[in-house]
Amino acid sequence: MKKQVLNKATVDSKRIDSNLNSYKELKIRRSEQIRNVATDHQKLNEFHDDVMKRTFQLAIKKVQSEWGDPPAPFAFFLMGSAGRFEQSIWSDQDHGIIYEGDKECEPYFLTLGEEVKNGLFEVGYELCDGNVMASNPMWCLSLKDWKKQVSDWLGEESWQSLRHFLTFFDSRVLSGKKLLLDCVKKSALSILDQEPRLYMRLIDNVDFIKKGIGVFGQLLPETYGEKSGSIPLKQTAFFPYVNSLRLLALKEKIYEPSTLSRFKKLSTPYDSIKQFEHDFSNLLSVRLHLRKNARDYHEVHLIPIQELTREEKQELKVIIKRGNKLFSETKKIIEKECSTWS
């Protein structure tokens, strides 16, 4: 079996000391330093990357001490807000593993996925409610099986299978062989080329947007439960931007998962879409400003309406309205092009 040579990026930590030798030490350092970068989106996400890379280093070191070297080249990749480089102060886990080789490699990489999951949790990243983690066999597969799984997701066309696919596409390699992830994405895009009608199914999958503004122009907070009185920022503001640019990235074969990167890589015919880039950038800054004192992951996307100034309410309304307009224009573009393909 081949031995994996770890990517140099996995041992290059600019902000987290490489001599931190336990998850507990890393958690303490994370708590001490994160407030220093909490007001700058770029620096904050670079910091998260450094913390997660160091956590991964500790995890693989532990697995190697018990199981030996990895049995094949592999890639450990992030999804969700981490995959898109869009984390706030608090974040949960979304990650997977792709490895070369056959089924006999699975126990090793599932063990690694379990160790990474436990390590990240101990350091301060909550477990994914949907179990989208490399400890789950669905998200820890060989290259061959990943291609088959993506093909099955698109072939099934169910709401859940397409949601899995969209989750997967917002991914980037944190450690290991980037080419493996690119290979799976390329395979998926070739299927969409052959079946362009799937774009309409993907639109249907993300077509519901939680209403954030009422008929009289007022913000609409949650009215029940522990979220009562708060605006759910993820559902009302983030989803329209993220979903729109993901759909366009699929159509334009843009591999980068970051929403801002996708804006920048859109070709000239999409100038009408590029005008919304500033709004999304502003949304990232607004979230950091409004939730800088959030106590945990569940508070990060909940904005208590009574805490907002008049100016902050107005700014949030503009962002939400612009996101809805962006999604509407994106739908029209894809629907129009789908009509020419049929």
Give the CA radius of gyration of the chain: 20
Q: What is the pLDDT of residue 253?
A: 95
Q: What is the pLDDT of residue 279?
A: 97
> Under a CB-based contact definition with an 8 Å cutoff, are residues 197 and 159 in contact?
no
Question: Backbone phi, then psi, for 172, in 5-degree steps?
Answer: -150, 150
Sheet holding 172-176: strands in order across? Answer: 140-142, 95-99, 74-78, 172-176
Question: Backbone phi, then psi, for 36, in 5-degree steps?
Answer: -70, -20
Tokens of 117: 């999951």
**Alpha carbons 113 and 241: distance in angstroms, whole number:** 30
Question: Backbone phi, then psi, for 77, in 5-degree steps?
Answer: -125, 155
Q: What share of the chain is helix, strand, coil (3-state, %, to 5)?
A: 60, 10, 30
> Under a CB-based contact definition with an 8 Å cutoff, are residues 95 and 125 in contact?
no
Question: Backbone phi, then psi, for 94, in 5-degree steps?
Answer: -145, 110
**Alpha carbons 212 and 209: distance in angstroms, whole number:** 9
**DSSP β-ladder status, 302-304 and 230-232:** antiparallel
**Alpha carbons 264 and 207: distance in angstroms, whole number:** 24
How far is it between the farthest Cα atoms of the chain? Answer: 65
Tokens of 318: 């503009």
For 140, the enclosing helix (H) or strand (E) is strand 140-142
Torsion sign over Cα 326, 187, 52, 163: positive
> Under a CB-based contact definition with an 8 Å cutoff, are residues 220 and 209 in contact?
no
Question: Backbone phi, then psi, for 3, in 5-degree steps?
Answer: -100, 140
Q: What is the pLDDT of residue 13?
A: 37
- In order of 137, 227, 253, 279, 289, the CA distances from 312 in angstroms are 44, 19, 36, 14, 10
CA–CA–CA angle 50, 55, 60 (5° rounding): 125
Q: What is the pLDDT of residue 161?
A: 97
For 187, the enclosing helix (H) or strand (E) is helix 178-194
- In order of 14, 117, 285, 301, 315, the CA distances from 89 in angstroms are 19, 19, 12, 11, 21
Question: Backbone phi, then psi, for 318, in 5-degree steps?
Answer: -60, -45
- pLDDT per residue, tens digit, the chain (342 aa), is 333 334 333 333 345 666 778 999 999 999 999 989 999 999 999 999 999 999 999 999 999 999 999 999 999 999 999 999 999 999 999 999 999 989 899 999 999 999 999 999 999 999 999 999 999 999 999 999 999 999 999 999 999 999 999 999 999 999 999 999 999 999 999 999 999 999 999 999 999 889 999 988 999 998 887 788 999 999 999 999 999 999 999 999 999 999 999 999 998 889 899 999 999 999 999 999 998 888 888 888 899 999 999 999 999 999 999 999 999 999 999 988 877 765
pTM confidence score: 0.92
**Alpha carbons 112 and 139: distance in angstroms, whole number:** 12
Residues forming beta bridges with residue 142, ordered by sequence position:
99
> Under a CB-based contact definition with an 8 Å cutoff, are residues 18 and 268 in contact?
no
103 residue type, one letter: K
Residue bearing tokens 């990060």 = 300
